Structure 1
Amino acid sequence: MNALSEFSHKLQQATLKATDMPTILRIVHEYSSLQVIYHSIVEPSLFIADTLDSSDSSGSSSFNETLEQFGSTIDSLPGSARRRLKVTLPDGRNVLSQPIVGLGQVLSYIGLVLPPQNQQIVSEIYIALLLEYASKTAEQILLRKLFLDDRSSDGYSRLIQDILFGEVSHEDQMLAQIGLPALSDGKYLFVSGIVVLERPEYSDEHQSVKMLNQDVVMLLRSLLSTHGIYNLLLLHHNVIHLLCIRETFANTEAQWEKVKQALRKVIELLKKSNRLRPGNNLQLHAGFGHMKTRLRDAAQSYREALDVVSVTRLLARTSMSAFYEDMGIYQMLKSIGNTSQLIQFVQYHLGSLLAHDQQNDTPLLQTLDQYLSCMGAKQETAEKLFIHRQTLYHRLDKLKELLGSNYLNAERRLCLEVAIRAYDLVKDEMNESTSGEGLAH
């Protein structure tokens, strides 16, 4: 008990003097004499072992391997298992781990690598208490850093609005306002994005909703920073507007691929957050424009991001990419702007088919879409639709009757494929306008 009291006092002193996690982890190592693993989604992970840690250039590569093993094991656990628990690494070692919770989200884990049973000097209960005390101190430090980061960004609200809406008159002056130094050799990459926090059932507790959104913003900011992306964020109601910045001194396209990988990981981690679980009625839709090399072009990237979110929310497909460059034909369809023109195009090429499906409750549109996607391969189409081949033949005969015998000719087929994608975007408006009326070819 004396050791625990001394340990707790030392943690309190460390919290007053320092705001970095390595100090806390070294104290844990000092009082446990065990290897300490720190796995985090909001800052760099660490490994403390005797005199070396993973941030030390002289440390063994086995430290990084242990960090990866621990992180992968922890990340594979279901959300309900995120409590203090003993995990077994792939190499057979056991780690007693304690979650660090903040903003309703598990931000990090502290773990102690347990020695073999025949070499264990201190009890597991003592180790668990050390982890309990350390996690509370670590939580204070992490939350302090998150709130400091959030407060320091308040002055950027007007700045990010000017950038995203194209009001950049003097690029060098704007870069200086952001706090970016001039680069003599390299250059900056700018990517605009938007994150929509959507609740199927809007909560009446307005204050709690606002606090929840602010928590998500702070978590997002920390995740972006941890993955090496400088960012400006602006929360307005349930929408987060963001500008991501990365400097590059090498191949621009290669750097952009790294940024995309980082953004994918950030969104994946954000979606796994406790704040975004189904019980909270909160869904996330994210979109990013294409990379730009000038700040003044960030507004174009922002418009592209808006198109991405607009499409992903309409389609509700989990596999849909969050990046504008991966939208394919939807880039062109969204750029048309005139919805009535899209509806006319859909009506002309798919009107008879849509009318038949509506009147007879048949899935001919789905069949046509899958048949074209399978390049006319009947067996594959039947398997993808989970129907017998004979059923598919009957549907194909009906398609030929409704669309004409030439519907697979190159030009006609292209129009049908575009019309199907366009219908994804305008079907709600078409259904409203044709309520109670038949669809004419």
Structure 2
Amino acid sequence: MNFEVKLSVHEILQNKHFEHAKVIAGKAGLYRLVRWVHVMEVTSIENLINGNELILSTGIGWKGDKEVFGSLVKQSINSNAAGLCIELGSYVSKIPQEIIELADAHEFPLIVFTKEVRFIDITQEIHSLLIKKHYQILSDLEEYSNRLNQLLLSSNPQQKILQLLHDHLKMTVFYISNQGKVQVISKKSPEEQDKLVQLLKGNKIPRLMNVAHQSVQALNQTFADLFIISEAEAITEFESLVLDRSAIALAQSLLRELYIEEQRKAKEAEWVSCWLEGGHSNEQIHRYLSELEPNLKPNGCTVLICKADNLDKIISEFTYLKVYFRSIFEQRGIFLLSYVQKNQLVFVLLNKWKTDDLKRRVQEGIDCLKKSDFIKKQKFSQLKFSVGKFVNDLSHVKNSFHTAKETLNIREKMPNELSNYFYEDLYIFRLVLAANEQGILCEFISDYLGPVLLHDQQNNGELLKTLKVYLQCKGAKKETAEQLHIVRQTLYHRLDKLYELIGRDFMDPYKRQAIEVAISAYEYTSASKSPYEYASITKSS
């Protein structure tokens, strides 16, 4: 780790090897940070230092050449060196006045040794001091981490962690949650604190104000932002690491709170189950929700079903999965109540914002879940989602639950036909479901497709596929042949056979609509029935 150790030029001057050293220029820069010490006798140094080095030299490189000496000082200033130490003696007898003025103008420490010194002793001593300080930083960081761990075992750790961060760094601390709640630990007045909050939110930090930021993340989600503000010195890497450790501790505290809260909510599953079955009145629902979340004023709701084949085998992961779902949707203005049913997680999504973009927010939440590393790293099989009908009346949630199950059923049977998760996007399949429930679907399919299905069954043909593509292409023969990967002549033979089986009028508007519905219905039911079942009805009739 490359920590910025706080060792200044002034502190180094207190060392015994600088007993006969004298600062002849740049006294205002004595608190410059020193990261390393170099002995350099060359006159071109810009590409040889990284900044914050204290340079030691006998002057052999420029001897009495004032211009070369001035160039060296300018290079040192431009390269952000910490200072220049020169041994007066054989090569340099005095420092020119213009060099002193140059150093003073840039607050660049210029130090001379009036007696001979051993540079090797100086470098060893200072390097040892740097290493000692580096080790002290590691020890301080370890001690700080231990204190954080102790706070995590106490009550209300969040406030105590923020206070510890403030006390340790002596800086203003801001904690801003995703919900906009702001906590400030500072000696500033309330008015000054409010002003800083506005500057942070508007990303308009003054130039002289140093700010470091760290997100408070858990389950790959950002729950809050943590800031430290210094109006004096720049924030060092050590202080940034303290900030980072604090953010991790806050995330652990937050995750524990979420886990405990989710376990508490798990006890509500029986009530939610009864609600999904229509067992609660509007009054009972609103009373329960107000007790659960006093500020919750639902603006309609819907039901989301999440299915995974192995969900029932990893029950220990349920709570974390529900915490993750909740964090995703609450960021989008949706409050969740959950219920576990075999290999399904059932969520009642209560809308807290306006209704006109609810579908978009639910879609964004599902997309975020499917792409998240957290879900990918878990042992869950591929998650399948479905969303029921949106209802304004909370007592009608049973209808939304029923339609969510229907949507899941259709999406599982026809994964290639339906890519959307929402019941309202089932389109013609809503009629198919209704007809299937009334027991008339099989007869409807047989009436419009029976001869075609019988022919395909007996001849291993592809008339049904041809008919479907031909209708999708709106009767365009060239496009149909291209999509089927057959020559035009073969298509003509198949169309002639279709004319013979279902009539030449199958492109007439109403008959065409009926046939298209029958094709969709057949594809829905074909998972459990064979083509011969429909064909046999036609044959017998």
TM-score w.r.t. length of structure 1: 0.68
2:307 is aligned to 197
Larger deviation: 422-431 or 7-16? 7-16
Alignment pair present for 1:241 and 2:340: no
**Do the aligned partners of residues 173 and 109 (structure 1) sit closer, same or farther apart at CA in structure 2, a change above 3 Å counting?**
closer
Is residue 101–residue 139 contact of structure 1 (8 Å, CA) maintained in 2?
Answer: yes
Note if contact 2:266-2:338 (Cα within 8 Å) is conserved in structure 1.
Answer: no
Q: CA deviation at 1:263?
A: 1.1
Q: CA distance change for structure 1 residues 215 and 335 in 2, over 3 Å: closer, same or farther?
A: farther
Deviation by residue 1:4-43 (Cα, 9 ceiling, x = unmatched): 2354256446645656599779959x97x9xx999x9xx6
Counterpart of 1:338 (choices 437, 441, 445) is: 437
User: Retained in 2: the 8 A contact 1:191–1:292?
Assistant: yes
Which moved further from structure 2: 345-354 or 3-12? Answer: 3-12
Which residue pairs with 2:365 in the alignment?
Answer: 266
CA separation of 1:157/1:280 partners in 2, compared to 1, >3 Å: closer, same or farther? Answer: closer
Partner residue in 2 for 1:82: none
Q: Where do 1:148-297 residues align within 5 Å?
A: 148-169=260-281, 171-179=282-290, 188-199=298-309, 208-247=313-352, 255-274=354-373, 276-277=375-376, 280=379, 282-297=381-396
**1:69 matched to which residue of 2?**
none
CA distance in 1, matches of 2:271, 2:140: 51
> Bigger radius of gyration, 1 or 2?
2
One-letter identity of the residue aligned with 1:314: K
Give secondary structure in 2 for the equivalent of 1:192. Answer: strand
Alignment CA distance shift 1:197-1:319 (3 Å)? same
Matches for 1:1-400 after TM superposition, within 5 Å: 1-5=138-142, 7-9=144-146, 11-12=148-149, 15=152, 16=154, 27=165, 56-59=197-200, 61=202, 102=219, 106-108=220-222, 133=245, 136-169=248-281, 171-179=282-290, 188-199=298-309, 208-247=313-352, 255-274=354-373, 276-277=375-376, 280=379, 282-317=381-416, 320-338=419-437, 340-385=439-484, 392-400=491-499
Letter in 2 for 1:259: L
Aligned amino acid, residue 302 of structure 2: S
Measured on the aligned residues, the alpha-carbon RMSD in Å equals 4.9
* Contact 1:275 1:282 (8 Å CA) reproduced: no
CA–CA separation in structure 2 for the residues paired with 1:278 and 1:370: 41
Tell me the matched-pair count. Answer: 381
Query: Structure 1 45/238 Cα, relative in aligned 2: closer, same or farther at 3 Å?
Result: farther
- Report the CA distance shift for 1:244/1:404 in structure 2 as closer, same or farther (over 3 A): same
How far apart, in 1, do the equivalents of 2:243 and 2:472 lie? Answer: 54
Q: Check conservation: 1:289, 1:302, Cα contact below 8 A.
A: yes
Q: Partner letter of residue 312 of structure 1?
A: R
Structure 1 residue identity aligned to 2:263 = R
Instruction: Give the equivalent residue in structure 2 for 1:73.
Output: none
Q: Distance in 2 between matches of 1:96 and 1:181?
A: 34
Q: In 2 relative to 1, CA 278–60 (structure 1 residues): closer, same or farther, beyond 3 Å? A: closer
Equivalent of residue 503 in structure 2, options 393, 397, 404: 404
CA distance in 2, matches of 1:191, 1:98: 31
3-state SS of paired residue (2:529): helix
Alignment partner of 2:404: what SS? helix
Partner of 1:83: none
CA contact (8 A) 1:346 1:420 kept: yes
Write the letter of the residue equivalent to 2:346.
H
> Could you tell me which amino acid in structure 2 is paired with residue 283 of structure 1?
Q
User: 1:429 Cα shift?
Assistant: 2.1
Identity rate of aligned residues, in percent? 24
Offset, 1:407? 1.2
Q: Deviations over 1:227-257 (max 9, x none)?
A: 2212211112212222222246xxxxxx323
SS in 2 for 1:402: helix
Cα distance change on mapping 1:398 and 1:58 into 2, 3 Å: farther
One-letter identity of the residue aligned with 1:4: L
Instruction: Give CA deviations for 1:190-222 in whole Å, capped at 9, x if unaligned.
Output: 3231424232xx59xx6x522234432232223
SS at match of 1:188: coil
Kept after mapping to 1: 8 A contact 2:217/2:251? yes
CA deviation after TM superposition for structure 1 residue 372, in Å: 1.9
Quickly say closer, same or farther: Cα 1:294–1:98, change in 2 above 3 A: closer
Question: Does the C-alpha gap of structure 1 residues 140 and 178 become closer, same or farther in structure 2, counting only changes over 3 Å?
Answer: same
Give the Å deviation of 1:160. 1.4
- The structure, 1 or 2, with the larger RCO (C-alpha pairs under 8 Å, 6+ apart) is 1
Q: 1:181 to 1:282 in 2, by over 3 A?
A: closer
Aligned-pair distance for 1:271?
A: 1.9
Q: Would you say the 8 A contact 1:163–1:295 is kept in 2?
A: no
The 1:279–1:60 alpha-carbon spacing in structure 2 relative to 1, beyond 3 Å, is: closer
Q: TM-score, normalised by structure 2?
A: 0.57
Mapped to 2, the partners of 1:131 and 1:371 lie a distance apart of: 65
Q: Structure 1: 5+ residue runs without aligned partners?
A: 64-94, 114-119, 249-254
Q: 2:517 aligns with which of 407, 418, 428?
A: 418
Who is 2:72 aligned against?
none
Q: How has the CA–CA distance of structure 1 residues 101 and 242 changed in structure 2, closer, same or farther, with 3 Å as cutoff? A: closer
8 Å Cα contact 2:165/2:242 also seen in 1? no
Q: Residues 318 and 222 from structure 1, CA distance in 2 versus in 1: closer, same or farther, beyond 3 angstroms?
A: farther
Provide Cα deviations, 1:362-404, integer angstroms capped at 9, x if missing partner. 4433332233223223444445555555554454444334332
Deviation, structure 1 residue 265: 1.5
What is the CA–CA distance in structure 2 between the aligned matches of 1:358 and 1:127, rounded to whole Å? 76
